[in-house]
Amino acid sequence: GAGVSQSPRYKVAKRGQDVALRCDPISGHVSLFWYQQALGQGPEFLTYFQNEAQLDKSGLPSDRFFAERPEGSVSTLKIQRTQQEDSAVYLCASSLNNYEQYFGPGTRLTVT
Amino acid sequence: QKEVEQNSGPLSVPEGAIASLNCTYSDRGSQSFFWYRQYSGKSPELIMSIYSNGDKEDGRFTAQLNKASQYVSLLIRDSQPSDSATYLCAVNAGNMLTFGGGTRLMVKP
């Protein structure tokens, strides 16, 4: 079946612009996770949804970061007033059972 | 202090050899453990999961878990050049995964 999809795959934003990153999880997966991966490092947790409920947002680095999953399927990660330090790959993962997580291709964000 | 530690490598092995990748973690409450493979410019791909002490084999891959020593390893038998990638160890103590920094494996023909 289809895996996790993310769009756009690449995004270039000027400093101060707002961006929205989309994740479409595997059908039937109730859990959805967002991670941030800097170059040469492992992914770092940002936030977690179970269906439409955001159960953990402890990894969001600032109040400029906001995530939603209003109907318990597609999720959007929004970054307001982007800064250069926001440049990274943003990964979405989904899980059926909260154990094995399957990642999408990621969105590479570059802030200039 | 990073909670999941891996040697960054690179670990270089000849084709056909066994590659041994290691990982230690700090949270004794961790319950599930995963190995992901990540090719350059791609996203992590789940290759092994292990939940109880001992060995788990899947094809050329064997994951080993020792909760008393807080140690997880991945063995890759008959290594192939296509195995060259970064291998990420991930630990789940709740809902989220905590990743190590990854070990870069190079398999030389």
Q: Which of A86, A92, A87 is nearest to A26 (CA)?
A: A92
- Please answer whether residues A59 and A71 qualify as being in contact, where contact means their C-beta atoms are separated by less than 8 angstroms: no
Cβ-Cβ contacts under 8 Å, A51 against chain B? none
Nearest CA in chain B to A5: B43
Do the Cβ atoms of B97 and A31 come within 8 Å? no
DSSP assignment of A42-89, as one string? --EEEEEEETTEEEE-TT--STTEEEE-TTSS-EEEEESS--GGG-EE
Any CB–CB contact under 8 A between A99 and chain B? Answer: yes
pLDDT in tens, B60-78: 999 999 999 999 999 999 9
Longest CA span, chain A:
39
% of chain B exceeding 90 in pLDDT = 93
Among B34, B92, B101, whose Cβ lies nearest the Cβ of A41? B101
**Chain B closest-CA separation from residue A45 CA (Å):** 7
Q: B-contacting residues of A 1-30, CB under 8 Å?
A: none
* Residues near A1 by beta carbon (within 8 Å), at least 6 away in sequence: A26, A27
Residues of A in contact with B97 (CB under 8 A): 33, 35, 43, 45, 93, 101
Helix (H, G, I), strand (E, B) or coil at B81: helix
pLDDT given at position A98: 81
At A102, the pLDDT band (50, 70, 90 cuts) reads: very high
Residue B93 pLDDT exceeds 80: no
A67 chain-B contacts, CB cut-off 8 A: none
The C-alpha atoms of residue B70 and residue B84 are separated, in whole angstroms, by 26
